[in-house]
Structure 1
Amino acid sequence: MRTIFHVDMDSFFASCEILRRPELKNEPVIIGGKSERGVVSTANYKAREFGVKSAMSIVRAKELCPEGVYLPPDMKYYKSLSLKIMNILNGFADKFEPISIDEAYLDVTDKLDNISPMILAAKIKKEIYNQTKLTCSIGIAHNKSIAKIASDFEKPNGVTYVKYDEARDFLKDMPIRKISGVGKVTEQQLINLGIKLIGDLASKDRQWVIEKLGKSSLRLWLIANALESSDVAPRESSESYSTEKTFDEDIDDKDLIFEYFKKMCRRVSNELKEDKYLAKTISIKIRYDDFETITRAKTLPFHFNDYKTIFDETLFLFDENYDVSRKIRLVGVKCSNLQQSVEKQTKITDFFDL
């Protein structure tokens, strides 16, 4: 039986800022866009007491928490701390999979010959705190999906260990949206079928779920039944190259949007070339004036880093998915699924764009 850790740093960006400005320790700290039209990236737990959440508009956050400390993100600083943390985690793992700047999966199965999972988790937390003065929460389970849900169970600075024979009971009373990948649309589809809790989905026949929701829903059914078994997959690079633009005013002028896409695609292309990477997947983000956000991606049969391919595929995705009756607040472009374009030594710093 495998043992998987999901390690998630606690309100990472805000915690990094408090680390270098200790006087903010007891203040509500909100990290977000520089303009009034930006969105909240991270809010510390003090700010969350006022109802401030990630992806909320800065304007709304200031309505809820006018006395908060609002700071623009400093990604170079955050990534320097993340690099230390990921190096620590890599040292504790048999297999290591960073999935973002502040979270990672660890397969620690072979590390547990003479130590319990809880003791190993305590060692990891202690080492991270000793080297960075930052806290994390850890979920422990026999698979990745339950470990991820568990890491959020006792935040901040907690550890939750879900044993194999307790996994289904742990999940059954949780809302279905707790499953990673269940957004508003999928949640509503499930609710329409009478599925509100993870246990509701687990109790359904596997074939019934596929017939009602399609083959892709099998993943959700497996997670609900504690049967998901994807590997912790070491990655050569978890990088993606991306850029976004929040407009000063909501717009529906496609020609103007295309002009912004030109600049964004050229920037991403230049960064890929500078760092000697090729991408295979391109994604776009569209945020409408009511804050509904959609992302769409396309994986090509070849690798690329040239401007023309990035721009052409961006426009294709946009044309296929844009609702012309609505105004747009933000657009974004991302290239991922990377491959080195020349011989280059792989090292832990390849996970970060420092």
Structure 2
Amino acid sequence: MIALQQRTIVHFDLDCFFVSVECLQDDSLRGKPLLIGGSSDRAVVSACSYEARKFGIHSAMPMKTALRLCPHAIVRSGDIERYSEKSREVTAVIADQAPLYEKSSIDEFYLDISGMDKFFGSLKWTTELRKKIIKESGLPISFGLASNKLVSKVATDEAKPNGQLEIHFGEEKSFLAPLAVEKIPMVGRETGAQLRRRGVETVKTLSEVPISLLEAWMGKNGIALWKKANGIDESPVVPYYEQKSISTENTFPADTIDIALLHAELVRMTEKIAFELRQQNKLTGCITVKIRYSDFQTVTKQATIPYSCSDHVLLEKVKDLFQKLYDRRLLVRLIGVRFSHLVQGNYQINLFDDSQEMIALYQAIDHIKNRFGWQYLMKGTNVTPPERKMYNR
């Protein structure tokens, strides 16, 4: 068997990110039970402070329930634009220092610093980077340093709040062994309950279950779970600049100046790729709109936005960009929409002012689109008469 090359992977995680940004703006909030989300009875908790968690509060909980558990909690509506700005600020610091990094979500990063020991010492270099991030952003951040992404992420969780932890090569299994099975990424509440019913409560016990038995219990997920329990993770750090964009463009069968038609097509395209974003559990931080006129001149306009994958947020910006871009009043041959600056995340993080019904609506819409196809559920304004249909590319 050929031994895998030893790697050095860092996982950075901004602690209670939304809460920390709010505390940075208002120092009086520190040390208090703080809830981020809408203030109405139908709103949900998007994030909460460690102090609030002591009362049993967690994200996605109905705000009404959270306030019953902790009546004296402070509620802030949240500001995804400010959170996005702080995320980009931290990204800039990491990008300036790290040889290879992956932005896995709005507040998480993986760094591959393999070989750094020859020059600086991995722990020393990472510690200094953490101090730099804290100094320049004002935000608390934790890190785990290990031989792969899985163990580094678990180490970060164990180092929180605002701490750091190194797991030396060869110590992965002994580090994971005493932890509860729920500490393993991909083991949610349902999977954890299923394992516990079978007497599997710790990672050590999980690692000792025959892989064939885990596969029988959970299919292919059982094999992946066995590898994680044994500290095995070969997944690479994907360079952030290589994160793919999601785009679509449509060429008209005949050049047009029909504004209503153009707007309807923008809605259709935006809904299509926003659904793709949610399918991939991603958010976009940049939107580009493209127009090609009948004379083949092509123009584009883009804007950086607060991270989102919600139709109503993205549609508003797409329409705004189109209005600013379409100023020649010429016949249009092609239009396109592209989402870039992608990070992992879900739509709940920017529904600070929305209700449980809004979240349920998105989930129901995506369920129908998953089952029947994205084109079977669209906004009424997007229904195009047969004679106006276009060629998709």
TM-score by length of 2: 0.63
Q: Report the residue type matching 1:277 in the other structure.
A: F
Q: Return the offset for 1:31.
A: 0.7
Residues 107-129 of structure 1, C-alpha deviations (whole Å, 9 max, x = no match): 11133323233212221121111
1:267 aligned residue (306, 315, 319) = 315
Q: Return the offset for 1:146.
A: 0.9
Residues 137-168 of structure 1, C-alpha deviations (whole Å, 9 max, x = no match): 10111011111111011211100111122211
Q: Report the residue type matching 1:169 in the other structure.
A: S
Question: Does the 8 Å contact 2:44/2:356 carry over to 1?
Answer: no
SS in structure 1 of the partner of residue 118 of structure 2: coil
Q: Which residue of 1 aligns with 2:89?
A: 84
Mapped to 2, the partners of 1:239 and 1:86 lie a distance apart of 18
The alignment yields a C-alpha RMSD, in angstroms, of 3.7
Mapped to 2, the partners of 1:284 and 1:134 lie a distance apart of 22
1:277 aligned residue (317, 322, 339) = 339
Q: Return the offset for 1:266.
A: 8.7
Mapped to 2, the partners of 1:227 and 1:292 lie a distance apart of 36
Q: Report the residue type matching 1:92 in the other structure.
A: Q
1:175 aligned residue (140, 161, 180) = 180
1:189 aligned residue (188, 194, 213) = 194
Q: Return the offset for 1:295.
A: 6.9
Cα 1:288–1:30, aligned 2, differ >3 Å: closer, same or farther?
Answer: closer
Cα 1:176–1:143, aligned 2, differ >3 Å: closer, same or farther?
Answer: same
Q: Which residue of 1 aligns with 2:327?
A: none
Mapped to 1, the partners of 2:95 and 2:70 lie a distance apart of 38
Q: Return the offset for 1:238.
A: 7.7
Q: Return the offset for 1:223.
A: 0.9
Pairing 1:125–2:130 present: yes
Cα 1:68–1:265, aligned 2, differ >3 Å: closer, same or farther?
Answer: closer
Q: Return the offset for 1:294.
A: 11
Q: Which residue of 2 aligns with 1:135?
A: 140
Pairing 1:317–2:370 present: yes
Mapped to 2, the partners of 1:148 and 1:268 lie a distance apart of 36
Question: Does the 8 Å contact 2:245/2:338 carry over to 1?
Answer: no
Q: Report the residue type matching 1:315 in the other structure.
A: I
SS in structure 2 of the partner of residue 232 of structure 1: coil
Q: Which residue of 2 aligns with 1:103?
A: 108
Q: Report the residue type matching 1:27 in the other structure.
A: K
Matches within 5 A, 1:155-174: 155-174=160-179
Residues 141-200 of structure 1, C-alpha deviations (whole Å, 9 max, x = no match): 101111111101121110011112221111112111111111222223322333221111
% identical equivalent positions = 29
Residues 68-120 of structure 1, C-alpha deviations (whole Å, 9 max, x = no match): 21011201001101101011122332321111111111111133323233212
Q: Return the offset for 1:277.
A: 3.5
SS in structure 1 of the partner of residue 89 of structure 2: helix
Cα 1:238–1:181, aligned 2, differ >3 Å: closer, same or farther?
Answer: farther
Mapped to 1, the partners of 2:9 and 2:29 lie a distance apart of 34
Q: Return the offset for 1:135.
A: 1.0
1:9 aligned residue (14, 26, 33) = 14
Question: Does the 8 Å contact 2:43/2:62 carry over to 1?
Answer: yes
Mapped to 1, the partners of 2:88 and 2:21 lie a distance apart of 13
**Structure with greater Cα Rg:** 2
Mapped to 2, the partners of 1:189 and 1:295 lie a distance apart of 24
